[in-house]
Structure 1
Amino acid sequence: MAQLLDAGLQADRARLEEIIKRLHELTIRIGHDEMAQTVSDLRNRIFEPFMFVIVGEVKAGKSSFVNALLDTGEEIAKAAPQPMTDTIQQIIYGEERREVMVNPYLKKIFLPVDILQEIAIVDTPGTNTIVAHHQEITEQFIPASDLIVFVFEAKNPYRQSAWDFFQYIHGDWRKKTIFVLQQKDLATEDELSVNLGGVAEKAKQEGIEHPRVFAVSAKQEQEGMYGSGFGPLRQYIADNITGGKAPRLKLNNSVLTAQTINSRIADGLLLRRSQFEADTHFRQDIQQTLDEQVSQSNKQVDLMVENLLLTYDGITGQKLAELRSGLSMFGLVKRSVASTFGSTPSAKTWLENLARDLETDLNDKLRARLNDNVVDLAESIQQMVKTIDLKIRSSQTILSNDHEIFSSIAERRENVLRDLQDQFNRFVSKTENFTDEALFADRENLAPNLAAGGGIAALGVILMALSTLPVLDVTGGVLTTVGVIFAGFSTRGKRRRIVESFEQEIETGRGRLATELEDKLKVYISTLRRRIEANFGRFDEMLDREQKNLLILEGTHAEVDKELDELSQEI
């Protein structure tokens, strides 16, 4: 082998080994043990001989074909009568003959045969075998192979299991493949001619542009008979593989295998990136829904306060007009004379009645108006919560949990999403998540009113409780002011002071009504938004972690892809 390995080839091998080392690190970071083992095996085999993998159905004559091809005069690959005892046999060069059982399914056979200095042969169980592990183990050899030799029965090369296995090899691994019709001595010339053409046509249909099909008879070859068909096959191997080309072909095939694995990672990363972008869009959609709801709810609060103030102004304006009229000199004299005969209340009683009427009108009409508006606000918030729940349930799944590479990532995402659904359901069902101590300070009897509801269903009751808050008691100052000033109301100045004080207290109450109601409701809406957002904590952590991991994985993949492409073009 030494004379076949020039310095350039050695440098290319070393370079490829370094690239595959990075690819191996990528598979480890991904966490795919099987792929990591495949890449590790590929790296270890860079300096090994060119590997033939012989595949085909049981009884297709694979072992006889191998024995005839090596032409050592002895049986190397044994054809077991019981497929259940069959094993993979890896036949490689050794200074002396010996056999090593690697495991119950793999045997290494070392032979001092010259051709094995350039090629190694793997004789596999049949593609139609029913023995457990056989196909699984056979498939582990395919990624490291350099040439697949598909052996068919010359009389019937159309068995489905063999072609199904070929689709796996060619479709997933794009391996160089040749086709051999073995036992041609058992077929007629017409059968052989038809089947050679049929296999070539079938291979074209499966994506082989220029299929190479050989008809051979291991029996005739081993008996030294002319026309066994091994001459053209050996010539093809000499021209394309063993004639000093094996190391370079081996290198090319290793590059191709690494590119195939990296390409499969790329396909998985595209799906993983798509899932991340869909999840990011979903999360942004939730935030946008919350932003829009907060904005809409705040506008509803502004409109609610505006409507309440219009009602407030109408009631207080009417009472102010009554006060001015009643405190005029004519009105007081008339009331004083009339009260002497008992037909009209005294001025003091009249003022007290006016203040009480004001309080009653404000409480009754403002509460009625507030409750009407609170219903709309509660329904709006309830609809927002239901919308978010629906969005969580209908979030898009792109990366399925049976993905060949990233199934663990998909399962982890599925668990996070399921936990989010469960947590949000629990959140929605608990009344305490929709109450606020600051909003309901001094309201000791609120809880019993919510007993019939629960969680989001209690929103209406919770918000309607605002109508009993002290913020609506704006007449206390008026009563106090009137009582203090009334003792000396007889002068005109005192009467004017009563009206001015009344106006001032009404204005103060107006501002307190607007400010406290607006502040309490907007703070409540903001608090509720934060509580809803808190349910997405674990989901947000997952997105942050996924973003960082994707950047690392995609960067490493891109670097490996670039280096493999450059090396492929150079060699």
Structure 2
Amino acid sequence: MSNLIDAGLQADRARLEEIIKRLHELTIRIGHDELATTVSDLRNRIFEPFMFVIVGEVKAGKSSFVNALLATGEEIAKAAPQPMTDTIQQIIYGEERREITVNPYLKKIFLPVEILREIAIVDTPGTNTIVEHHQEITEQFIPASDLIVFVFEAKNPYRQSAWDFFKYIHGDWRKKTIFVLQQKDLATENELAVNTEGVAEKARKEGIEKPNVFTVSAREEQLGMEGSGFAELREYIAGNITGGRAPRLKLNNSILTAQTINRRIADGLEVRRRQYEADNLFRADIEETLNSEVSQSNKQVDLMVENLLHTYDNITREKQEELRSGLSMFGLIKRSVVSKFGSTPNAKAWLEGVAKDLETDLNDKLRGRLNEQVVDLAERIQQMVKTIDLKIRNSETILRNDHDLFSSIAERRENILRDLQDAFNRFVGKTENFTDDSLLSGRENLAPNLAAGGGVAALGVILMALSSLPLVDVTGGILTTVGVIFTGFSTRGMRKRVTEGFDKEVAAGRVQLARDLEDRLKSYITTLRKRIEANFGRFDEMLEREEKNLLILEGTHREVDEQLDALTTEA
């Protein structure tokens, strides 16, 4: 039966090692070096004995407590006179006594003491030590520990640094903890009673329902005196840890620690996922805003063209009536006779004049109408740019750069967003981003005036430059028609041919006006939209990478979580 239990334990340990290996790969992929080291240490210690970690303030009597607990009759854990030179001492079983200095802050002590076959003891520097590396290394041992023995000075167990460290141990790692009031020989019975209950009450407030508090005197124990308190402590250890239970307890503690780490990663991934979703919503909002603004701008162009065509129709209708009246039989005879005796132009000259007047009239009146409406279009496009700028500035930050796991991801996102803001500011300030060759063809001399405006501020000037271009050219077609008629034909049937040719060129001019304005302005709006979108290149790349990374990280986390749950159930 014993062999079967051992075989089961070994199999569970091997399974846990594989799971923690996956967890270690997850922490490496996350890029969190400290957590990766913690998981690596946890994996390396799976097959080690049950680990007691002794913590407490300097001068609380931790080293004396360890020496008395081991009862070897010699000083194993040495109390350093200078806390600044103190080291972590890991005391483990060995066939003969020897010491290994791992680094200036960690020493391993091997002892042929029977209890060390089942447990290992880590004596740490004080929680209030001023040496920077002490707490770092102490915190490396906490995640892999199986029992925290919190040693307080019996006369004053309320020092803040000790309880702050306890909050870290219990709050972050949920480690099983017992409390020891050391140096009880220096306190009165009343002080011991009050302080024992005081420690128990503080522990209950921190979430330990039934705290175990022991009062001991290492000095009395080493002198062999009765009532040192170590008998009760050893009875607790024998009843709850040793006696063959330590290996399975350690396995369960290692599973719990792995679950705690994986849960911590899950919490971080949840925040990171919410940031990704917020950024996706932000990007979709930008896209929707651009779509809406471009659509509204195009509708404004359509309305502008419709109004201009209405003006065009009114002007051409008047000229068409003038033409029909002038081309009546009576009108032609009268104009032919009068032109011989005075300055009245003949029919051909008169027709040419009507055609030229029409074009001048069209361009002058259409330009004025276009000027009125292009200002509204400029304002709408300006508003679109300002809206995008405001949305960039107000993008939501959920994952902050002080996040305990993903601060580097948050900083990278913050830098990309800051670059986006800066790039968009530069974009808005540059006139060339708002110009378009097809829109301003033939207006090269406009450039100096535009440069003075700068970017979106010059948008109105840029659009109004359109109205300074020839809007309609119908004269050429009409004059050709007139020339052909007067050269190759008699007056018979001329009226019909002239009016039909005139109407044809007017209709063609109408189509040309609509097409030219629509093409120029809508093409300009589309080009501007693409230029705005180009500012989001790096941000879009970040979103694409983040989506892939999150899927991988979340998938690995779920696998580890399911495997740990299954091992917990079976163990």
Note the C-alpha offset of 1:469.
Answer: 3.1
SS of aligned partner of 1:144: coil
Specify the alignment match of 1:467 in structure 2.
467
Q: Helix, strand or coil: the match of 2:107? A: strand
1:148 aligns with 2:148: yes
| Match in the other structure for 1:42 | 42
TM-superposed deviation, 1:446 = 3.3
Query: Equivalent residue for 1:18?
Result: 18
Q: Residue in 1 aligned with 2:451?
A: 451
Q: Secondary structure at the match of 1:226?
A: coil
Report the counterpart of residue 507 of structure 1 in structure 2. Answer: 507
Cα deviation digits, residues 311-331 of structure 1 (max 9, x gap): 000000000000101111122
Distance 1:411 1:451 in 2: 36
Q: Which amino acid letter does the alignment assign opposite residue 365 of structure 2?
A: K
Equivalent residues of 2:155, 2:192 under 8 A apart: yes
In structure 2, distance between residues paired with 1:163 and 1:542: 42
Partner of 1:333: 333
Tell me the residue number matched to 1:119. Answer: 119
Range 246-255 or range 132-141, more displaced? 132-141
Whichever residue aligns with residue 206 of structure 1, its letter is E
Where does residue 190 of structure 1 map in the other structure? Answer: 190
**One-letter identity of the residue aligned with 1:509:** G
CA distance in 1, matches of 2:407, 2:486: 84
Q: Tell me the distance in 1 between the aligned counterparts of 2:538 and 2:85.
A: 52
Residues 247-268 of structure 1: CA deviation (Å, up to 9, x unaligned): 0110011001101110110011
Corresponding position of 2:259:
259
Asked whether the 8 Å contact 1:275–1:398 carries over to 2, the reply is yes
RMSD: 1.6
Within the alignment, does 1:478 sit opposite 2:494 as a pair?
Answer: no
**1:244-323 residue pairs with structure 2 within 5 A?**
244-323=244-323
What's the offset of the Cα at 1:492?
A: 3.8
C-alpha displacement of 1:542: 0.9
Match of 1:58 in 2: 58
SS at 1:181 equivalent? strand
State how far apart, in whole Å, the 2-side matches of 1:168 and 1:123 are: 18
Corresponding residue of 1:174: 174
TM-superposed deviation, 1:116? 0.5
Normalised TM-score (structure 1): 0.97
1:476 CA displacement: 2.4
**Contact 2:96/2:111 (<8 A) preserved:** yes
Quote how far apart the aligned CAs of 1:438 are: 2.9
Q: Encode CA deviations 1:526-557: one digit per residue, 9 max, x unaligned.
A: 11111111111111111111100100000000
Q: CA deviation at 1:486?
A: 3.5
Matches within 5 A, 1:53-452: 53-342=53-342, 344-452=344-452
Give 2:153's aligned amino acid. Answer: E
| CA displacement, residues 86-141 of structure 1 (integer Å, 9 cap, x when unaligned) | 11111111111111111111111111100001101011111111122111211111
* Counterpart-to-counterpart distance in 2, 1:515 and 1:289: 27
What's the CA shift for 1:7?
A: 0.9
Checking the alignment, whether the CA contact within 8 Å between 2:96 and 2:110 is kept in structure 1 is yes
Q: 1:497-547: per-residue Cα shift (whole Å, max 9, x none)?
A: 111111111001111111121122212211111111111111111111110
| Deviation at residue 455 of structure 1 after TM alignment | 1.7
Counterpart of 2:538? 538
- Whole-Å separation in 1 of the counterparts to 2:480 and 2:393: 58
Measured against aligned partners, the alpha-carbon deviations of 1:268-309 in whole angstroms (never above 9, x if no partner) come to 100110110011111111111111111111111111111110
Where do 5+ consecutive residues of structure 2 fail to align?
A: none
SS of 1:24's equivalent? helix
- Any idea what SS the aligned residue of 1:552 has? helix
- TM-superposed CA distance for 1:384, in Å, is 0.6
Give the number of equivalent residue pairs: 570
Larger mean CA deviation between 486-495 and 375-384 belongs to 486-495
Give the aligned residue type for 1:331. G
The residue aligned with 1:517 is: 517
Secondary structure of the residue that 2:11 maps to in structure 1?
helix
Structure 2 CA distance, aligned partners of 1:364 and 1:73?
A: 113
Q: Distance in 2 between matches of 1:193 and 1:498?
A: 121
Q: Conserved in 2, the CA contact under 8 Å of 1:151 and 1:181?
A: yes
Give secondary structure in 2 for the equivalent of 1:445.
helix
- TM-score, structure 2 normalization: 0.97
Instruction: State the Cα distance separating 1:165 from its structure 2 match.
Output: 0.4
Q: Partners in 1 of 2:83 and 2:462 — Cα distance?
A: 76
SS in 1 for 2:259: helix
SS in 1 for 2:132: coil
In the alignment, the residues of structure 2 paired with residue 335 and residue 20 of structure 1 have an alpha-carbon distance, to the nearest angstrom, of 106
What displacement does 1:390 show?
A: 1.3
Name the CA shift for 1:457/1:474 in 2 (closer, same or farther; >3 Å). farther
Letter in 1 for 2:97: R
Q: Percent identity?
A: 81
Letter in 2 for 1:383: Q
Q: What per-residue deviation string (whole Å, max 9, x for no partner) do you get for residues 154-201 of structure 1?
A: 111111111010000000000000000111111111111111111111
Q: 1:198 to 1:81 in 2, by over 3 A?
A: same
Q: How many Å separate the matches in 2 of 1:151 and 1:137? A: 18
Match of 2:180, SS?
strand
User: What letter corresponds to residue 564 of structure 2 in structure 1?
Assistant: L
Query: What SS does the aligned partner of 1:421 have?
Result: helix
Amino acid at match of 1:165: F
Return the letter of the residue paired with 1:478.
I
SS of the equivalent of 2:95 reads coil
Check conservation: 1:4, 1:244, Cα contact below 8 A: no
CA distance in 2, matches of 1:132, 1:428: 49
Whether the 8 Å CA contact 2:363–2:471 is kept in 1: the answer is: no
Conserved 8 A contact 1:475-1:509: no
Distance 1:421 1:173 in 2: 40
Question: 1:451-476 CA distances to partner (integer Å, 9 max, x unpaired)?
Answer: 32222222212221222334422332
- Cα distance in 1 between the residues matched to 2:45 and 2:136: 20
On the 8 A contact 1:128/1:162 being kept in 2, the answer is yes
- For residue 345 of structure 1, report the CA deviation from its aligned partner: 4.0
Cα distance in 2, alignment partners of residues 355 and 419 from structure 1:
57
Gapped regions of structure 1 (runs ≥ 5): none
Code of the aligned partner of 2:547: Q
1 CA distance for matches of 2:97 and 2:451? 87
Find the aligned partners of 1:136 and 1:434 in 2 and give their Cα distance. 56
